């Protein structure tokens, strides 16, 4: 018999209502940029079906998947499955999205580098058609 | 009844044999410094009794505790208990050590910033007397 235990590292935080996410995504901020750290850090929880908009980072971002399974897709490439224990090193100025799958939750720590005061440029939502297609790969 | 499950995010990696750790500590490298990321990142597992030497970081370090409970101590201050879900923002040029307690394991992700090509200056071991004293706080 397998016993499933809830074993999250961080609290789920607050639901993201900024218009840059589709579905139920939550943010627990972990660290602000400061004099030593040229990045901000937070834990993001994507419930099944949830994902970011398409976006770019002017100086890149690192994702550490801490729970579940989800998807990462760069524009013009097939979506890649990502799961607990994976580290994704996202290049600068590369259009992409990340999130859950249609039926699995995904939690990641995001370490987002700053270029000056800017660390993300938000673009269009990932449409239901794009998301459905990504889940079929 | 509580069922304990092993639920580590990363493999334990290799035992650290570099002389800068006391006891059984293990490193799984996660990310090297590159053109976007001005830091290196790894997961460090400290078995009970294991700890780093005293050391400093020229541009600071962030620890994310992912499992268990341990200790963090800055020189001249009392040791602080740290546990799963804690984030420790270690200032630059501040002498300190971190590790397990005498009887609990601790695992953390370490995000270590670089100043030029340097990210750590190793100092003396934490003696058994210092470690025992830290565990009594």
Are B66 and B107 a contacting pair, CB within 8 Å?
A: yes
Topology of the domain comprising B14-130: Jelly Rolls (2.60.120)
CB of B108 closer than 8 Å to CB of B98: yes
Q: Which of B10, B11, B36 sits opposite A60 (nearest CB)?
A: B36
Residue in B36, B38, B60 closest to A91 by CB? B36
Best CA proximity match to B94, nearest among B125, B132, B124, B121: B121
Cβ neighbours of residue B3 under 8 Å, at least 6 residues apart?
A3, A5
Answer whether B106 touches A (CB < 8 Å). no
List chain A pLDDT tens, one digit each, 137 residues.
344 446 899 999 999 999 999 999 999 999 999 999 999 999 999 999 999 999 999 999 999 999 999 999 999 999 999 999 999 999 999 999 999 999 999 999 999 999 999 999 999 999 999 999 999 97
DSSP B2: P
For the stretch B5-60, pLDDT in tens is 468 999 999 999 999 999 999 999 999 999 999 999 999 999 999 999 999 999 99
Token pair of A78 as six digits: 């097939």
Q: What is the pLDDT of residue A31?
A: 98
B89 Cβ under 8 Å from any chain A Cβ:
yes
pLDDT of residue B5: 47
Number of neighbours of residue B104 by Cβ within 10 angstroms: 18
Q: Domain segments of chain A: what residues?
A: 14-131
Is B54:B21 a contact under the CB 8 Å cutoff?
A: no
Q: Within an 8 Å CB–CB cutoff, is residue A62 touching chain B?
A: yes
Domain covering A14-131 assigned CATH 1.20.120.160 in the classification? no
| Alpha carbon distances (Å) from B20 to A17, A85, A95, A110, B29 | 46, 26, 41, 29, 16
Measured between CA atoms, the residue of chain A closest to residue B93 is A36
Q: Please give the ipTM for the structure prediction.
A: 0.94
CB A44 within 8 A of CB A25: yes
Q: What is the mean pLDDT of residues B97-107?
A: 98
d(CA B43, CA B59): 19
Of A34, A37, A92, the CB nearest to B36: A92
- pLDDT tens-place string over residues B79-94: 999 999 999 999 999 9
């Amino acid at each position: 018999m397998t016993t499933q235990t809830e074993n999250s590292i961080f609290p789920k935080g607050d639901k993201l209502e900024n218009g840059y996410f589709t579905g139920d995504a939550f943010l627990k901020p972990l660290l602000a940029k400061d004099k030593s750290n040229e990045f901000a850090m937070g834990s993001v929880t994507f419930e099944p079906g949830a994902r970011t908009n398409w976006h770019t980072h002017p100086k890149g971002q690192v994702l550490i998947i801490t729970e579940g399974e989800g998807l990462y897709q760069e524009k013009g490439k097939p979506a890649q499955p990502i799961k607990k224990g994976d580290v994704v090193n996202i290049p600068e100025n590369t259009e992409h999205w990340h999130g859950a799958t249609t039926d699995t939750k995904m939690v990641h720590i995001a370490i987002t580098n700053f270029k000056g005061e800017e660390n993300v440029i938000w673009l269009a939502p990932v449409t239901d058609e794009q998301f459905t297609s990504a889940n079929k790969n």
